[in-house]
A = this chain, B = another copy of it.
């Protein structure tokens, strides 16, 4: 099987993440290094269906390592969820003489690739790229470290105004299913408390913390709220609820939103993306398929897609404790 890989296609799919360009670059450069052809597919699986291909040489990817987003663009494709759509995609891959596909994205992206492998026995490899860091089998996903820095820089700015006015700020960060961003940026930004999907006690715990803080002499506070937290209130309702149940705080809300997805990738994400891009091409050359390349204990590893997408990782209890202790 090894001799078959002569031409590799690469696409990005799902939400974009900083470092995706660095991963595409590493795939294209690895192909050049090993004398393989590299084809860039635009707009994810939709581009696969619409034959939106372009040859990527080593020079095509110059000056992209420092750019946020993905120059191959991303899209969500309904058509690819149909058998018909995948058939078109497979035909296009065949017609272009493409032997294998590298997909960069999250669990939805990997699910699509698994279908292609399953139905057409087409070699596929995944690279985890999502700021939510909610993929199993890798310690880090591309974009996560950058997003944490973006969040922490934003909260640093908010704290300037919070402490100038003795205010309480609720800051909403991304994380529909996982509180990793909230927990880590909460520690990093010196937040008072966090609300995350993994915990239920939520609001009362928070009121208690705020009460304690005020007594200990804090005059301004930041609460980091993951968008997927489970209180049943949106962040503006939460602010109102706290205002009604806690005296003496001037409360404001800030929803960080899409700035969290953009920006020049951190060095960490660039190195991670470069390693995984190289690792994906080399995995294909070794004959691997249906796996995601990831980082475990600082080494590049492969895990089955089934493992990668199998759902939520538990909350890191040590980090939770670090937050509790350092916000005293």
Q: Give me the interface of A with B, judged by CB distance under 8 Å.
A: 12, 15-16, 18, 20, 25-26, 29-30, 32-33, 43, 58-59, 62-63, 65-70, 73-75, 139, 145, 148-154, 156-161, 163-166, 169, 184-185, 187-190, 216-218, 252-259, 261-264, 266-268, 270-271, 274-275, 277-278, 297-300, 318-319, 321-322, 324-328
Contact = CB atoms under 8 A, between A and B. Distances in A.
Contacts of A16: 160-161, 164-165
Contacts of A158: 258-259, 262
Nearest to A158: B258
B259 A328 contact: no
How many protomers of this protein does the assembly include?
4
Given A66-B190, A68-B157, A160-B262, 14 more contacts: A68-B160, A73-B166, A75-B166, A154-B259, A156-B263, A158-B262, A160-B261, A161-B261, A188-B267, A254-B258, A254-B259, A256-B259, A271-B319, A274-B322
10 contacts: A16-B161, A25-B326, A33-B324, A66-B190, A152-B267, A154-B259, A161-B261, A254-B258, A255-B257, A274-B322
Contacts of A254: 257-259
Contacts of A160: 16, 18, 67-69, 261-263
A38 to B, nearest CB: 12
Nearest to A276: B322
